[in-house]
Structure 1
Amino acid sequence: MIFLQFADPLARARLFTNIRNSLKLGGILILQGYTPKQLEYKTGGPPHLSHMYTESLLREELVGFDMQIIREYEADLNEGSKHVGQSALLGLVAQRI
């Protein structure tokens, strides 16, 4: 498990490059992150818009992956004292091709 939500955009781009280079062909990347709407909920995650995920951002950053599942959704999280309540999320399952 890798926590990327606290990486600024430049660091995140480097992390995605490293993930792409490290994951073998056919390997699967599973990612869950917050969308910009999360800033309205204030129920966890970083307080910076630049640290949120959108479908277009992931498609740009993850060239060379087959996006098998990519969807925005909302869910009630209970993952410790700093991640409780309604949350705006983006889920991704992508295969390196």
Structure 2
Amino acid sequence: MLTGKQKRFLRSEAHHLTPIFQVGKGGVNENMIKQIGEALEARELIKISVLQNCEEDKDTVAEQLVKGTRAELVQVIGHTIVLYKKSKENQQIKLP
């Protein structure tokens, strides 16, 4: 579980990132969760964009992604979700 200070730090780190995944009409599926999990292992911090044609609510999408990837939800702002998961092999981000 992340503290408020750690979330604030991660939000500042994620500010300059561009979303690398988009959730659209199909919603969240197993393949997407697997790919996001691999991206989290490589990068630790990613942004995911929820498109307007997505049939599910952005908070529901965020909950599904967190549960599927076992990541930490940093922020849901607008249609963007920020996820963090500590990498097992190549840890890059040092949390305060």
User: Larger Cα Rg: Structure 1 or Structure 2?
Assistant: 1
| TM-score category, normalised to shorter length | 0.3 to 0.5
Q: TM-score, normalised by structure 2?
A: 0.48
Q: TM-score, normalised by structure 1?
A: 0.48
Q: Which structure's residues are more often strand, by fraction?
A: 1
Q: Which structure's residues are more often helix, by fraction?
A: 2
